[in-house]
């Protein structure tokens, strides 16, 4: 399923490149798409909408107990306080990690992912190995991300089979008393909000 940057030696990908170009030409000539709108869509998801959005949400939940309560009660409304909303996050549920519970999100059926707070999903999230094994062998999959949890921690896997999107609220790392929201957001990784990673520790950021 991987198709990284190998198109120089794979003729099928060259065919794909030609086909996409042909299709865009046809659709533009017929007036169905506006190339300027396509450029803005790409720019938005490459530069504006990404996991830094979710990191701000998590950092606020770590510092503001009222916000944390609002976020867990109604994630969809709580993220609008940052101006985040809409496509692929129309209905957002935030699930909280605790000392005894670790949450992990997958979409076994396709690639459902909370775009408004995490941007577009990485290739591994959309890949057959993750989609097939996250539900049956979550500890094994976590191990492939370098994450080892104690045997007594319960793992809750959330399979996004509807339009509800899930975001993991990781635990705030120890040793961060007095840190600002901006500093804390630097500790929040994309994978920690999917549940395939943990936040960085204070010593890992400058």
Return the residues of window 65-94 that contact another protein according to CB under 8 A.
85-91, 93
Residue 151: helix, strand or coil by DSSP? coil
One character per residue 138-167, x = contact with another protein (rule: CB under 8 A): xx-x--xx-----xxxxxxxxxxxxxx---
Q: Which stretch binds another protein (CB under 8 A): 61-69, 124-132, 168-176, 179-187?
A: 124-132
If binding means CB under 8 A, how many residues of this protein chain bind another protein? 86
Neighbour count for residue 132 (Cβ, 10 Å): 13
Any idea which residue has 């060259």 for tokens? Answer: 14
**How far apart, in Å, are the Cα atoms of 119 and each of 73, 85, 114, 141?**
23, 12, 7, 22
By CB under 8 A, the residues from 185 to 204 that bind another protein are 191, 196
Cα separation, 188 vs 183, in Å, equals 10
Q: Which stretch binds another protein (CB under 8 A): 58-66, 102-110, 170-178, 180-188?
A: 102-110
Is there binding between residue 8 and another protein (CB under 8 A)? no
Active site residues: 107, 110-112
């Amino acid at each position: 399923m991987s198709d990284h940057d190998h198109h120089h030696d794979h003729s099928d990908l060259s065919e794909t490149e030609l086909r996409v170009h042909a299709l865009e030409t046809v659709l533009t000539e017929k007036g169905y798409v506006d190339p300027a709108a396509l450029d803005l869509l790409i720019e938005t998801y490459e530069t504006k909408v990404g996991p830094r959005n979710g990191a701000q949400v998590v950092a606020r939940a770590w510092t503001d107990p009222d916000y944390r309560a609002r976020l867990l009660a109604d994630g969809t409304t709580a993220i609008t306080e940052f101006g985040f909303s809409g496509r692929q996050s129309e209905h957002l549920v935030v699930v909280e990690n605790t000392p005894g519970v670790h949450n992990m999100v997958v979409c076994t059926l396709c690639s459902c992912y909370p775009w408004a707070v995490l941007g577009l999903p990485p290739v591994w999230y959309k890949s057959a190995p993750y989609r097939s094994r996250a539900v049956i062998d979550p500890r094994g999959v976590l191990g492939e991300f370098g994450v080892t949890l104690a045997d007594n921690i319960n793992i809750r896997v959330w399979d996004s089979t509807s339009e509800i999107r899930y975001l993991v609220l990781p635990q705030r790392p120890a040793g961060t008393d007095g840190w600002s929201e901006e500093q804390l957001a630097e500790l929040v990784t994309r994978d920690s909000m999917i549940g395939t990673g943990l936040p960085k520790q204070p010593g890992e950021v400058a």
